[in-house]
Amino acid sequence: MYEILERVFEGIVEYGILFLECIGVVIILVSAFKALVGLLKGDPRERIALEEGIATALGFLLCGEALKTIISHNWQDVGLTCAILLMRAVMSVLIHWEVTNEKKELQEETLEKTNNNRGC
């Protein structure tokens, strides 16, 4: 009975991992397509939207990696999964930092243009 429950649990977790990773991939693809269209139109804010999409997708991918630690059966798998988790978490923090800086720069440029238009 215990073995059956364990297999069911592992199946649920594996499908959960697949689902979360698929969501992450779809978000990245949609964000990349929207950013490409926006950049071709000349919208500088699309880069920020792309980075925010990547950060959101990384959140889903991190959830999938966390689930992988639940069904890991040896320390080597746990170590590898933790290394991937750490890498994705660092990427997420760096992307958040970059988005924050780009938003500030965009706001400063907008404010500067507004002040120049008022001065004319």
pLDDT (tens digit per residue) in 38-93: 988 888 788 888 888 998 998 899 899 889 888 888 888 888 888 888 888 888 88
Task: Give pTM, 2 decimals.
Answer: 0.76
CB 68 within 8 A of CB 17: yes
> 8 CB contacts (<8 Å, ≥6 apart)?
none
In tens, the pLDDT along 81-97 reads 888 888 888 888 888 88
Amino acid, res. 34: K
Residue 19: C-alpha distances to residues 13, 15, 54, 67 (Å): 10, 6, 17, 11
Q: Number of structural domains, the chain?
A: 1
- Its domain, for residue 28, covers 2-119
CB 61 within 8 A of CB 20: yes
Closest CA to 99 of 53, 52, 67: 52
